[in-house]
């Protein structure tokens, strides 16, 4: 692939069947959902071998982010070039129509439980919509022991040792690797390390309609990966940044990613010079300006700003709410 100048890059969602999914993502995304299927996840930026995101706009249309990481790495990543074998984050929308399995992800330090080529998995959620039964389970109740969890698994009462709360739209939650967690009856945006390592501890006795069987559990691995110090994780407290043309909040700050939220009626600036950033529109419509072009940016869209693009003006059509994701070591 000959190297072309990069520009703000858009990608189509990659829909994923999930036993706990529904049809509510069609209210958020313009790409049609697969017919008659429970869609739990829309992978909106993925550098995974099995599901690579493809550029949908401009002269690079059809190229995968993996190809860009190979052939245009310096333009794409700037000072982060060479630090990652692949794009370091995986971004999704989740429609948790039903509660997910009770699960845990290993930390980067637990090499024994991370398959070759994978990483640990810290993630964060931004709650977009809630239903009447919405609940987030995050962390164990204080003083819970491994033996107590084993006993609860035997009699299907594991929820008794999980800390939980009723979420509200707009809240964000940081789920560090090693945290026991699940969630249900919510639509969330999720950002995570680029990893697909999940160990199920409990799945509520469900049968997968596609297979007619329960889903596999990985109880021993899940127990081995639990950080028992992660108890009663609640919503993160946003920090408001200095005044500008928009309301700017720092929602989540972690070594693996940072998430900011812009809300504005007037033009404002996104991105940073010589730094890759990712934008996700969660409400409204607008246009992103770069050089002589304006790029439409609507609810459900994801846009990758390569380092060579830098900072850009974003012009709302009315009110717009945009998440801006900073990569690890991306300042």
The tens-digit pLDDT sequence of the chain (331 residues) is 467 899 999 999 999 999 999 999 999 999 999 999 999 999 999 999 999 999 999 999 999 999 999 999 999 999 999 999 899 999 999 999 999 999 999 999 999 999 998 989 999 999 999 999 999 999 999 999 999 999 999 999 999 999 999 999 999 999 999 999 999 999 999 999 999 999 999 999 999 888 999 999 999 999 999 999 999 999 999 999 887 788 999 999 999 999 999 999 999 999 999 999 999 999 999 999 999 999 999 999 999 999 999 999 999 999 999 999 999 887 7
DSSP-based three-state secondary structure for 125: strand
Dist CA 94 CA 252 (whole Å)? 18
Whether the CB-CB separation of 15 and 22 falls below 8 Å is answered with no
pLDDT the model gives residue 4: 86
Concatenating the DSSP letter of every residue in 157-209 gives -GGGGEEEE---TT-EEEE-TT--EEEEEEEEEEEEES----EEEE-TT--BT
pLDDT the model gives residue 3: 75
Phi, psi of 146 (to 5 degrees): -60, -40
pLDDT the model gives residue 117: 87
In angstroms, the first-to-last Cα distance of the chain is 30
Q: Tell me which of 86, 200, 261, 277 is the catalytic residue.
A: 200
Dist CA 263 CA 320 (whole Å)? 6
What's the number of CA atoms in the CB half-sphere (13 Å) around residue 270? 37
Nearest CA-CA partner of 167 in 138, 202, 139:
138
Q: Which helix (H) or strand (E) holds 69?
A: helix 65-71
Whether the CB-CB separation of 270 and 279 falls below 8 Å is answered with yes
> Is 200 annotated as catalytic?
yes
Name the pTM for this structure. Answer: 0.95
Spatial neighbors of 314 by CB under 8 A, at least 6 apart, are: 262, 264, 267, 268, 269, 270, 279, 286, 287, 288, 289, 297, 320, 322
pLDDT the model gives residue 2: 60
- Report which DSSP code applies to 118: -
Domains, in order of start, for the chain: 9-225 (2.60.120.10), 239-326 (2.60.120.10)
pLDDT the model gives residue 78: 96
């Amino acid at each position: 692939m000959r190297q072309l100048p990069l520009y703000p890059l858009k990608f189509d969602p990659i829909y994923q069947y999930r036993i706990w999914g529904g049809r509510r993502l069609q209210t958020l995304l313009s790409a049609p959902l697969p017919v008659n299927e429970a869609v739990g996840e829309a992978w909106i930026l993925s550098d995974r071998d099995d599901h690579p995101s493809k550029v949908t706009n401009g002269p690079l249309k059809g190229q995968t982010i993996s190809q860009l990481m190979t052939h245009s790495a310096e333009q794409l990543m700037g000072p982060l070039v060479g630090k990652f074998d692949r794009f370091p984050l995986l971004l999704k929308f989740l429609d948790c129509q039903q509660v997910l399995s009770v699960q845990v992800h290993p930390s980067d330090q637990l090499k024994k439980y991370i398959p070759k080529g994978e990483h640990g998995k810290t993630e964060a959620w931004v709650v977009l919509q809630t239903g009447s039964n919405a609940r987030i389970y995050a962390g164990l109740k204080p003083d819970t022991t491994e033996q107590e969890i084993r006993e609860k698994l035997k009699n299907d009462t594991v929820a008794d040792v999980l800390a939980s709360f009723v979420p509200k739209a707009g809240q964000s939650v940081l789920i560090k690797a090693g945290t026991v967690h699940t969630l249900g009856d919510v639509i969330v945006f999720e950002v995570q390390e680029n990893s697909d390592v999940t160990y199920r501890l409990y799945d509520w006795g469900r049968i997968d309609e596609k297979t007619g069987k329960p889903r596999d559990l990985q109880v021993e691995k899940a127990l081995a990966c639990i950080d028992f110090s992660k108890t009663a994780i609640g919503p993160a407290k946003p920090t408001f940044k200095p005044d500008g043309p928009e309301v700017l909040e720092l929602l989540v700050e972690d070594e693996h990613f940072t998430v900011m939220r812009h809300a504005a009626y007037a033009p404002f600036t996104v991105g940073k010079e010589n730094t890759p950033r990712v934008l996700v529109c969660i409400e409204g419509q607008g246009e992103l300006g770069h050089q002589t072009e304006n790029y439409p940016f609507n609810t459900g869209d994801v846009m990758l700003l390569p380092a060579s693009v830098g900072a850009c003006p974003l012009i709302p059509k009315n009110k717009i709410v945009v998440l801006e994701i900073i990569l690890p070591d991306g300042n």
